[in-house]
Amino acid sequence: MDNFEDFPANGGGQLPPGQLGEVIKVGGDWFAQFTFPLSDFADFDDNCLYIAPWAIFKGNGGEHWAGDMTAGNENHPWRYFTFCIQECEPLVEEPVEICESAYMYSDDDSTLNSVYPRPANWGWYLEYDVNTAQESYPLYAGAGQNEISKGTHVGNVIIHYNPDYSVYAEIVMLGDYELRGQHTFVGDALPTGKRPGPGQYTNSGDMNEDGKVVIIVHADVCWEE
């Protein structure tokens, strides 16, 4: 009911259960089925409906009302509850920030863990020759086990080889990917011994001035999804 006064209570305040709805028997189990088209209750008070459920339970379970409010009289009480409709703001999911390590990709054979078995972290190095080098190289994030199909192409690296034999790497990010940190190693050969972490990279340029250097570019990259 859209108003409490619309309940079909009799003169004594009792609510006859037989007027509450249809009882349907399916497969040996009894259940009460009620349909309340909201379009039939255009003027209900405070956007609330008043509902009075009643049921008979098997095995001398008796007759029972359900609800958190009581009506009727002391000898014949009955119960009901309210169902209220509220307008809610649409649920907006907050974006999730994802941060990954990224490395400049050269080719499938130039992996860092092929040179440094421990730790077996992914990444690549580039044997750069100023006479044959290409203009830029892709930067991949999250490409575990050196599989670029698992990673994300987040930017490109442009190598600048200067007349004074210094070398530096310029990272150009794609789309909304954000560069949070960059580490570049440049030398005539890869470091010997233990693999250096990105924070230990050095850039000595082309010391022997032959136009050939080894380069590693690592970056910290973040984006939102």
Per-residue pLDDT of the chain (225 residues; tens, 9 = 90+): 556 666 667 666 667 666 655 545 544 555 555 666 666 665 655 677 777 776 666 655 566 777 777 887 777 777 888 877 777 788 888 899 999 999 999 999 999 999 998 877 899 999 999 998 888 999 999 999 999 999 999 999 999 999 999 999 999 999 999 999 999 999 999 999 999 999 999 999 999 999 999 999 999 999 999
Q: What is the pLDDT of residue 121?
A: 87
* d(C-alpha 127, C-alpha 107), whole Å: 10
Query: Is 33 among the domain residues?
Result: yes
Q: How many domains does the chain have?
A: 2
**Residues 70 and 180 grouped into a single domain:** no
Same structural domain, 140 and 173: yes
- End-of-domain residue from the set 57, 84, 111: 84
pLDDT of residue 75: 75
The model's pTM = 0.62
Task: Let me know whether 120 and 57 are in one domain.
Answer: no
Q: Is residue 30 part of a domain?
A: yes
Burial bucket for residue 55 (CB in 10 Å: 0-12, 13-18, 19+):
middle
Range of 184's domain?
A: 97-224
Residue 161 CB: number of other CB atoms within 10 A? 18
pLDDT at 3: 60
CA gap 225, 223 in Å, rounded: 7
115 and 219 in a single domain? The answer is yes
Single residue among 60, 84, 108 that ends a domain in this structure: 84
Could you tell me if residue 92 is inside a domain? no
- Same domain assignment for residues 72 and 113: no
Which of 63, 43, 62 is CA-nearest to residue 53?
63
Q: Quick count: other Cβ atoms within 10 Å of Cβ 183? A: 20
> Do 29 and 115 share a structural domain?
no
Confidence (pLDDT) at 63: 67
| pLDDT at residue 79, as a whole number | 81
CA distance linking residue 181 with residue 219, whole number of Å: 5
CB 151 within 8 A of CB 123: no
Domain boundary among 28, 62, 84: 84
- In a domain, residue 90? The reply is no
Q: Are residues 208 and 177 in the same domain?
A: yes
Determine the number of helices (DSSP H) and then strands (DSSP E) in the chain. Answer: 1, 14
Q: Scanning the structure block, which residue is given the tokens 């050095």?
A: 202
